[in-house]
Structure 1
Amino acid sequence: MNKSESKYFNTALLMDEALMKLLEVKDFEYITVKEICAKAGVNRSTFYLHYETVDDLLTETMEYYNEQFLKQFSVAPDQFIPSIHSAPLNELVLINPEYLRPYLSFIKEHKSVYRAAFKNPVCMQAEKQLEGISEYVLKPIMKRFQIPEEEQSYWISFYIHGCKAIVQEWIKRNCEDPIEKIEGVMIRCIRPDKEQWHLQCGE
């Protein structure tokens, strides 16, 4: 079932939200259909009309949120993609506030989902949230720098795991720090040249 095309979209979204809230307080394997239905305000027959198991709901829930996140990049690529293809190489970097802001904004808006994702990193596919940055930003930049394809996965892995660790700490603090601050932290950690450090610190 594609949630965005289903006439039962609102009901499905209620079950998504119920699952996310339950994941914040208990492990996935202990969550029952009864609990999901109670929190979502739907009956069991409605749940089984769309899903066979809680695993099915989890898979579809994460697919839905991944789709919503990737739209941040795909619906308005002109915001940053042209600069990637036309900027001088000495101005081209793998990490930039323009690339990070859609990602961090989405996280802050859906921090309860991400909190659940980091508590369940395997079943929640947390790393897939950075696929948009990888596809639309990292790979085009590495292509311009002629980084061999066999090395690109290492670069992407370093970038993704570094960003994910910072985001996880941010979520622990309930995303209280402003997005601009987290952008600066990521840039200084991943690209810690002296000039950029001064720029990001406002010196």
Structure 2
Amino acid sequence: MDRRQQKTRDAIFRAFTELLSKKSYTKITVQEIINEANIGRSTFYAHFETRDELLKELCTDLFTHVFSQTLSSEHTHDFSASAGDPGAMIVHILYHLRDNRKNIVSLLSCESSELFLSYFKQYLREFVTAHLLAELGQSSGTIPEEFLINHITCSFIGMVEWWVRQDLKQSPEELAGYFEQVILPVIH
């Protein structure tokens, strides 16, 4: 994708997230996104076929970075020295959710929250499998792995929803500590 296409895509994302902060997902029209992004209709459709595809791509961009295995120094946190540490990766994920709170809160509270949560769950399941279970190891052979992955994933999502309802009062480190205290005994 060239720079011009990336600028247009970023403008569409900004317009969409700005509209999400003001109104529910189902009430946002493609025309409103076009107007907010200051682009033409054909330009929008050259990038996205539907509003749902736009939501999917927004989630993909967000989660691809949030769940990246390469941790780098960023403006709100630096976990670059902690690469591969599952605990640090959980804190990293929580920082990104907090830093993107406006979008996350809008997406969790809209009518299409199930669509957002399905993308979130998909990335989270991959993270749990590759990092929590693989790095920490599961010593209990009595719990089926698929059950354990589902349990940890749903627990994390429930924790994030609780955190949002609490207006993100807890720090990412504090919340990760809660999660580890609840989950680590289940894994070991």
Q: Does 1:61 align with 2:53?
A: no
Match in the other structure for 1:155: 148
Q: Does 1:17 align with 2:7?
A: no
TM-score by length of structure 2 reads 0.74
- State which of 100, 110, 118 in structure 1 corresponds to 2:90: 100
% identical equivalent positions: 19
Q: Does 1:137 align with 2:131?
A: yes
Q: What SS is found at the alignment partner of 2:113?
A: coil
Structure 2 Cα separation of the partners of residues 138 and 31 of structure 1: 38
Structure 1 Cα separation of the partners of residues 182 and 140 of structure 2: 24
Q: Describe the shift of the 1:145–1:192 C-alpha distance in structure 2 as closer, same or farther (beyond 3 A).
A: closer
Mind listing any 5+ residue stretches in structure 2 that lack a counterpart? 73-79
Does the CA-based 8 Å contact 1:69-1:129 persist in structure 2?
A: no
User: What is the CA-CA distance between 1:144 and the residue it aligns to?
Assistant: 5.7
Does the CA-based 8 Å contact 1:130-1:160 persist in structure 2?
A: yes
1:151 partner amino acid? P
Match in the other structure for 2:160: 167
Q: Does 1:123 align with 2:115?
A: yes
Structure 2 Cα separation of the partners of residues 11 and 113 of structure 1: 19
1:103 partner amino acid? I
Does the CA-based 8 Å contact 1:138-1:156 persist in structure 2?
A: no
Does the CA-based 8 Å contact 1:22-1:31 persist in structure 2?
A: yes
1:123 partner amino acid? L
Q: What SS is found at the alignment partner of 1:145?
A: coil
Structure 2 Cα separation of the partners of residues 78 and 138 of structure 1: 18
Structure whose CA Rg is larger:
1
* CA displacement, residues 129-184 of structure 1 (integer Å, 9 cap, x when unaligned): 42453143123147563747x81111111111111112112223342322222122
Structure 2 Cα separation of the partners of residues 123 and 24 of structure 1: 17
2:113 partner amino acid? P
Q: How does 1:41-120 map to 2 (within 5 A)?
A: 41-71=38-68, 73-74=69-70, 79=82, 81=84, 97-119=87-109, 120=112
Match in the other structure for 2:76: none
Q: Describe the shift of the 1:136–1:74 C-alpha distance in structure 2 as closer, same or farther (beyond 3 A).
A: farther
Mind listing any 5+ residue stretches in structure 1 that lack a counterpart? 84-95, 194-203
User: What is the CA-CA distance between 1:70 and the residue it aligns to?
Assistant: 2.5
Q: What SS is found at the alignment partner of 1:123?
A: helix
2:107 partner amino acid? A
Structure 2 Cα separation of the partners of residues 144 and 60 of structure 1: 33
Q: Describe the shift of the 1:22–1:131 C-alpha distance in structure 2 as closer, same or farther (beyond 3 A).
A: farther
Match in the other structure for 1:88: none
Give aligned pairs, total. Answer: 174
TM-score by length of structure 1 reads 0.69
